[in-house]
Amino acid sequence: MASTSVPIILGIDFGTSKLCASLWIDGNVTILENSRGEKKVPAFAVLEQDERTGKYRIDIGRPAKDLSAVQPYSCLFNLLYFANTTEAAARDVITRERLPFIYSLHEFSPRFSCTLAPGKPTVLLVLLLAELIRDMRDQAELKVQKLIKKCVITVPTHWNQSGYYYLNQAAQMAGFQDIQFIHTTKAALMGCMTKTITPEFAERENIFRFLVVDFGAASCSVIMYYRKLDQKTMTQISQIYTCPGGNFLDWKLLEHCADEFQRQYGVNVMVDCASVHRIRLACEDAKIRLSTAKFCQIKIGNLKNYGQDLAYTLTLAAFEDICGPVVQTIIEQMRTAIQAVEGSSGGSHSLRILLLGGGSRIPLVRKLIGWAFPGIMERSVLGYAEEAAALGAASFGGHNSYNVARTTRKTAVPQPAPVAHQVTYSNRHSTYD
């Protein structure tokens, strides 16, 4: 049973494409699985109309993503991006990437409307974010059979105050009373510290520097950290380097498939948002399948207005040709980060690369980074690379609550945007100062 003095804490890694959550209970951190056995939930929403009542409801997660393949004009996704952007930038992305929805501002609150047909209702962005967060909370409370009032949510390192505002408001709507935020890359490093990158490991291997490469959907962040001589703190010693993430790889694959469709059938599918979305889903699936296969068949039947099927065999070699330049961009940013601190704390023998995030599962990414930096990519983190940020978020909140309960027995005041510069070890937990 959980301690009465320290609350159960839900850590949520709120990504652009997926959500992953973990629970902190009396110093133990575990990844949360939902009722469908999923550790990662697609950040998708679908607006559906009840045929009997005529009212609309919001479906989220995996069912919503699957339904979007047959109802592309009723789906909403990439929500985290739109929480932290301007109206002009949002509309530009929707137009450029042929997204099947409309963005607008109403009384300074971002709204979305599906493009099923004119007259369909608009949906507040904060309401969609709240539904996704509430689902995480419901699943967690179902597991522990207790109310959970505190959460820690990851946010991108480049976010401004408007992004924090919308996500904080959404978490309050989802029922949380104590809400904290942590940068995704820092949370991922903390997650590693709760698993395999322990003080004993760092001391045994004589590692003083850790290059964190957080390859997410929206972007890839590269940051260097330095382990101090007391082996209990790690400090950021480089600026944040960013480059395109997994969504950019998906878009390159989508363009490649569209070109093949144009070549085989003489039809430009890029003019139809529904067709683009269905191809986008197929490319995401192909990227996963090519992690274990040398080719995969992309089949999209009877695209709207064309009456033809898209059938194309994407080989691993073609995939590597498409995605290789993107990975090379990441490698260049990694070299820049290393060179920026070269000589400050020893040579490459004291350095480990922590490849984290959803993009870490792509064999091409692992292979090219391994070739570029032989012998220093830490493979012990690859088994939980996609879950590290969620683990770190819960650990961050748990350590803070543990210290508060031990010293003052008072509830911490929620901070909308705490800034953390150091990562520290403790006897039971890892956290930021």
Long-range contacts of 63-69 (CB under 8 A, 24+ apart): 65/281, 68/44, 68/277, 68/281, 69/277, 69/278, 69/281
Mean pLDDT (whole number) for 150-170: 92
| Residue 415 in this model has a pLDDT that exceeds 60 | no
Q: Return the pLDDT at 229.
A: 64
Cα gap 297→324, rounded to integer Å = 21
Ranges 107-121, 125-139, 251-265: which has the least confidence: 107-121
Q: Return the pLDDT at 18.
A: 95
Q: Return the pLDDT at 346.
A: 47
pLDDT band at 111 (very low <50, low <70, confident <90, very high): confident
Residue ranges per domain, the chain? 1-195+386-433, 196-245+323-384, 246-322
Q: What is the pLDDT of residues 218-236, one digit of tens each?
A: 999 999 998 876 656 778 8
CB 43 within 8 A of CB 16: yes
Cα gap 377→368, rounded to integer Å = 11
Ranges 223-237, 250-264, 338-352: which has the least confidence: 338-352
pLDDT band at 422 (very low <50, low <70, confident <90, very high): very low
pLDDT band at 410 (very low <50, low <70, confident <90, very high): very low
Mean pLDDT (whole number) for 93-107: 85
Mean pLDDT (whole number) for 322-345: 86
Q: What is the pLDDT of residues 75-97, one digit of tens each?
A: 999 999 998 888 889 999 999 99
Q: Return the pLDDT at 343.
A: 55
pLDDT band at 432 (very low <50, low <70, confident <90, very high): very low
Q: Best-predicted range by mean pLDDT among 53-62, 362-371, 399-408? A: 362-371
CB 358 within 8 A of CB 19: no
Question: Where do we find the tokens 């040579």?
Answer: 347
Mean pLDDT (whole number) for 392-406: 78
pLDDT band at 142 (very low <50, low <70, confident <90, very high): very high
Q: Return the pLDDT at 14.
A: 95
The two tokens of residue 263 are: 């070549």
Instruction: Tell me the pairing of strands 219-227 and 40-42.
Output: unpaired
pLDDT band at 347 (very low <50, low <70, confident <90, very high): low
| Residue 36 in this model has a pLDDT that exceeds 80 | yes
Mean pLDDT (whole number) for 39-52: 88
> How big is the CA angle at 347 (ends 341 and 348), to the nearest 5 degrees?
95
Q: What is the pLDDT of residues 284-310, one digit of tens each?
A: 888 888 878 888 888 777 666 666 677
pLDDT band at 198 (very low <50, low <70, confident <90, very high): confident
CB 133 within 8 A of CB 141: no
Mean pLDDT (whole number) for 38-64: 87
* Residue 322 CB contacts under 8 Å (≥ 6 apart), including other chains: 249, 252, 253, 256
Calculate Rg over the CA atoms of the chain: 22
CB 182 within 8 A of CB 393: yes
Amino acid code (one letter) for 320: E
The CATH architecture one would assign to domain 1-195+386-433 is: 2-Layer Sandwich (3.30)
Cα gap 19→36, rounded to integer Å = 14
Mean pLDDT (whole number) for 352-371: 93
Q: Return the pLDDT at 411.
A: 42
First to last CA, the chain: 29
Mean pLDDT (whole number) for 242-261: 90
Task: Identify the CA nearest to 83 among candidates 156, 172, 182, 176.
Answer: 156
Sign (positive or negative) of CA dihedral 152, 157, 161, 163 = negative
Question: Fold for domain 246-322?
Answer: Actin; Chain A, domain 4 (3.90.640)
Q: Return the pLDDT at 431.
A: 30
CB 421 within 8 A of CB 185: no
Q: Do domains 1-195+386-433 and 196-245+323-384 have the same CATH topology?
A: yes
For the beta carbon of residue 396, count every other beta carbon within 10 angstroms.
30
Cα gap 256→148, rounded to integer Å = 46
- Return the higher-pLDDT residue of 387 and 422: 387
Q: Return the pLDDT at 304.
A: 60
| Cβ burial, residue 348 (10 Å; 0-12/13-18/19+) | middle
Cα gap 47→176, rounded to integer Å = 25
Q: Return the pLDDT at 213.
A: 97
Cα gap 15→132, rounded to integer Å = 11
Q: Return the pLDDT at 425.
A: 36
Mean pLDDT (whole number) for 164-193: 94
Ranges 39-48, 70-79, 91-100, 336-345: which has the least confidence: 336-345
- % of the chain beyond a pLDDT of 90: 47
- Return the higher-pLDDT residue of 350 and 233: 350
CATH superfamily of 196-245+323-384: ATPase, nucleotide binding domain (3.30.420.40)
| Residue 421 in this model has a pLDDT that exceeds 50 | no
pLDDT band at 433 (very low <50, low <70, confident <90, very high): very low
Mean pLDDT of all residues in the chain? 84
